[in-house]
Structure 1
Amino acid sequence: MLITSRTPAAMVKELAICTRGLTKQFDRHVAVNDVDLEIQAGEVYGLIGPNGAGKTTLIRMLATAEEPTTGEIYINGDRLLRDKSNPKLKRRLGYLPDDYPLYEDLTVWDYLDYFARLYRLREPRRTQRLHEVLELIQLGNKRHSQISTLSRGMKQRLSLARTIIHEPILLLLDEPVSGLDPIARMHFREIIKALQEAGMTVIISSHVLSDLAELCTSVGIMELGFLVESTSLQQLYERLSHQQIVISTLGNLETLLRELKHHHLVEEWEVISGKNSVRVNFSGKDEDSAELLRSLIKAGIPLTDFHCTQEDLETIFLKLGHKQAS
């Protein structure tokens, strides 16, 4: 096994996914550029970035659907190649692309049974596994229904069931909630959480950042083929998410702003249109915001609202994108 000096071999074996110098070039276009990715076992890793950033190409290389131009991929310490070597490793991958077709003239049961047979699941395990995944995706009552009669959300859950029928160790999901309504997305999130609790490692790309913020333990942000950020969600918030305080008053807004200007932990603010309120970027801790509240009350400002929030994942992503563009 060839490992670069950047990561010791023992550490690579402990990682669910490790890539080194992973690059994919199509003619003159470099879709993925020298990506070093490290994901711990059992993580739900969110891959975000604008269209054309390289997310789908990266996932396809991890799924062996694309051959890297250069670079290496390791799954649980084993080198992943697209040739006929390590077939057992490939059978432990689950890949759901964003446009995978369903066989709509089949019933739900026959569809899953077909794929279970392709993965060479034998009886009685095959029937047991079909019941398990149908219960997980909450389609047990639809097992004799034709796929053509299912809703879009049900079809997407069925696609996920097909992807996990063989109990993969790594699940690769490319835009799995695209076009789904909020209830269908909620059902999908619940399934992913259950899979993580069962020990599966999941990579999921999505433009629905609120879903990723709820699901993921770590995130990677791609831009123009580069992996510009890769960190735990908690560390990303601690480093880049500013505390914001929304303050509303019955009194004169200018009086409130004069008080805020004198506070050393107030970095900037914006007046909320149509309301007698202001949104403040605040660099202090919880005890500092409590002290700010006391000082405003002491100054005689009639407050009707004072609540603290953190900038969300979407705001952080947009700020990072703006920095990259500038």
Structure 2
Amino acid sequence: MQQIIAPESAITTLGLTKRFDKHIAVNDVDLQIKKGDVYGLIGPNGAGKTTLIRMLAAAETPTKGEIYLYGDRLLTDNSNSHLKKYLGYLPDDFPLYDDLTVIDYLEYFGRLYNIPASERYRRLSDVLELVQLEYKRNAEIATLSRGMKQRLSLARTIIHQPVVLLLDEPVSGLDPIARMEFRETIKQLQQAGMTILISSHVLSDLAELCTSVGIMELGFLVESTSLAQLYERLSRQLILITILEGEDKLIGELRNCPSVRAWEKLADGQRYKLEFTGNQKDSALLLKNLIIAGVAIADFHCEKEDLETIFLKLGHKQVS
């Protein structure tokens, strides 16, 4: 099996399956994540995302199938414990110890990871600086906000300098500012060369972070591709137009434009959303013709359907 593992692959699974009694949580998943990628795992509750991540973290034993990290097979026994040092795993429910201070908590895990005392102080300072908690090093964990606690959990996850980071719903329950701070930390880790798999229901965050995405449905990996290719293949181009007057003239021009596939009038009565198949020159020509026709345009801009819209379309196809 070794020869089919791509040399640029950080994570590879072959036929990975997990069965609980009669329920198959993960079904025959073949997955490849390239070194340095940020891979977003998307799917509804119960799709198998958490079970897949737990198997990749060696926290769950597969029913069948194989997992490879950087070309070496990962086993749940102690035969290749060195591979587990590659991994940093942040589950969605990892407990914190509220009565400890931030630095004591990290010191505890530094000792668990057998980080030598001569390195430990520097390592703790580095991760605290990365997650922007240096000023909280002597604070009790009970006094931290939810966002700070999540960043502290991330610091604990990377204290042993893993090269693969597995994050299961890391921004769940965080406010927009805390999510933004967490995103910025993930970007720094990617720039440092870490390979990251992240599961989240906040698809706008994944769209900003990820280079590739996988979509799971009922235990199957139904889509796995680069984000750019997913957009190119499945994201419709839209034009949003806001007019002040000239509705009849607008409709006439839309009917005469071969690049306009369909349109709808939005609820406020002044905005129209167009499904557009043309290129930039075609959209510029449409705008020019609307102005010549006398349509009073307050706003005209192009956009692509976002990741959430694509996911909902794919999910609908799978269910139906």
Q: CA deviation at 1:250?
A: 2.3
- Correspondence list, 1:53-132, <5 A: 53-132=47-126
TM-score by length of 1: 0.96
5+ residue gaps, structure 2: none
Structure 1 equivalent of residue 228 of structure 2: 234
* Partners of 2:260 and 2:319 in 1: CA distance: 27
Structure 1 equivalent of residue 131 of structure 2: 137
- Correspondence list, 1:1-326, <5 A: 2-3=1-2, 8-9=3-4, 11-326=5-320
Report SS of the residue matched to 2:245. coil
Q: CA deviation at 1:236?
A: 0.9
Contact 1:12–1:74 at 8 Å: present in 2 too? no
Report SS of the residue matched to 1:104. coil
Q: CA deviation at 1:13?
A: 3.4
TM-score by length of 2: 0.97
Letter in 1 for 2:286: L
Q: CA deviation at 1:309?
A: 1.0
Contact 2:13–2:68 at 8 Å: present in 1 too? yes
* Partners of 2:247 and 2:118 in 1: CA distance: 72
Report SS of the residue matched to 1:95. strand
How many residue pairs match? The answer is: 320
Letter in 1 for 2:103: W
Deviations 1:270-321 (A, max 9, x none): 1110231210010111111111111222222222221111111111111111
Of 271-280 and 247-256, more deviation after overlay is shown by 247-256
Contact 1:23–1:69 at 8 Å: present in 2 too? yes
* Partners of 1:261 and 1:67 in 2: CA distance: 59
* Partners of 1:311 and 1:75 in 2: CA distance: 34
5+ residue gaps, structure 1: none
* Partners of 1:133 and 1:201 in 2: CA distance: 17
Deviations 1:68-120 (A, max 9, x none): 11111000000001111110101221100000000111110010011011110
Q: CA deviation at 1:41?
A: 0.5
Q: CA deviation at 1:123?
A: 2.2
CA RMSD, aligned part only? 1.1
Q: CA deviation at 1:242?
A: 1.2
Letter in 2 for 1:268: A
Contact 1:17–1:74 at 8 Å: present in 2 too? yes
* Partners of 1:322 and 1:84 in 2: CA distance: 43
* Partners of 1:152 and 1:200 in 2: CA distance: 25
* Partners of 1:153 and 1:250 in 2: CA distance: 44
Percentage of matched positions with identical amino acids:
67
Letter in 1 for 2:224: S
Of 163-172 and 272-281, more deviation after overlay is shown by 272-281
Following TM superposition, the consecutive aligned residue runs of length 4 or more in structure 1 with deviations greater than 3 angstroms are none
Q: CA deviation at 1:325?
A: 2.0
* Partners of 1:261 and 1:313 in 2: CA distance: 29
Contact 2:36–2:195 at 8 Å: present in 1 too? yes
Report SS of the residue matched to 2:76. coil
Contact 1:12–1:76 at 8 Å: present in 2 too? no
Report SS of the residue matched to 1:173. strand
* Partners of 2:310 and 2:93 in 1: CA distance: 29
